[in-house]
Amino acid sequence: MSKRFGDRKDGVLLRDLDGLHFITPIIYPNRTDNEAFISERIDLTAIDEYLAKKNAENPEYHYSLFQLLVTAALKTITLRPKLNRFIANRNTYQRNEVSASFVVKKQFSDTAEEGLAFIHSKGSDTLETIHQEIYRQITDRRSEKAGGDSSTDNMDMFNSMPRFLGKGIVRFICFLDRHGWVPSDLIATDPYYSSVVLTNLGSIKLHSGYHHLTNWGTNSLFIIVGEKKKRPFYDEEGNVTMRDSVDVGLTVDERIADGYYCSKSIRLLRKLLANPELLELPLEEPVEF
């Protein structure tokens, strides 16, 4: 599809929206004023069994719960494309690709630096290819020989300038951001230009919870993964069993899709996590849910 006037390099302007979704970004222009928070508790019984089997077959670099969640999020967004919309400068766009990003702590210490990982997915990707890409990026970010990611390097550059100059340049870049004109090199690994940002708070022993969106960038979905714990689950008769589980918090820009669409999307995410073998299918392959 050729680019038309009004399109951005990272998204296509949606020109056939209904009146409500056309007007809403105009009267509510800020992403941070339009956040909807959803909390989900995931029973890990099926996932634990699946990971045990996969890791017995792949002892060199284990599959992890976080990798499954990244893949499940990418597949959900691929099959539910309204989740891959973003609003900028009071216009609604369909993003050109499905992507995920997350922060990599180079060492678990108070003074350790952080790096940024950015996954550019394709419809043909599966859990296997996402697993390999996450492994590659984490290894690169934690390598002492590797340089930093481009977005982190650029932030360090602005910080090294005289304060008045650095702040002035950043304000100008914020203007470019609203119009989709920020140079690609500056935001190549910026998480807030991805379809979904994920953060694994469970890795640092914290609970899941709410995380805000930002007015910078184009990100419309943020997912927080909490600490794995045993929690009570009740059946229809009220009987309780203790099972391994994880709490997941999702913050979404409510302007990109209505509540019914988001509800069905969460239903798909639950289906994928309850049946992790579905993640071995290509992201673009439909799933009944």
Residue 152 predicted with pLDDT over 90: no
Cα(14)–Cα(264) distance, integer angstroms: 22
Cα(180)–Cα(182) distance, integer angstroms: 6
Top-confidence residue, 168 or 111: 168
What is the rounded average pLDDT of the residues 268-283? 97
Cα(152)–Cα(150) distance, integer angstroms: 6
Least confident stretch, 97-101, 111-115, 178-182, 237-241: 111-115
What is the rounded average pLDDT of the residues 151-174? 78
Pairing of strands 196-200, 99-105: parallel
Residue 108 predicted with pLDDT over 60: no
Cα(90)–Cα(94) distance, integer angstroms: 14
121: which residues sit within 8 A by CB, 6+ positions away?
Answer: 74, 78, 97, 98, 99, 100, 130, 283
Q: What pLDDT score was predicted for residue 141?
A: 77
Q: What confidence tens digit (pLDDT) does each residue in 38-53 have?
A: 999 999 999 999 999 9
Cα(33)–Cα(267) distance, integer angstroms: 25
**pTM exceeding the 0.85 threshold for the entire prediction:** yes
Q: Are 201 and 226 in contact (CB under 8 A)?
A: yes
Tokens of 260: 């019914």
21: which residues sit within 8 A by CB, 6+ positions away?
Answer: 92, 255
Cα(249)–Cα(257) distance, integer angstroms: 18
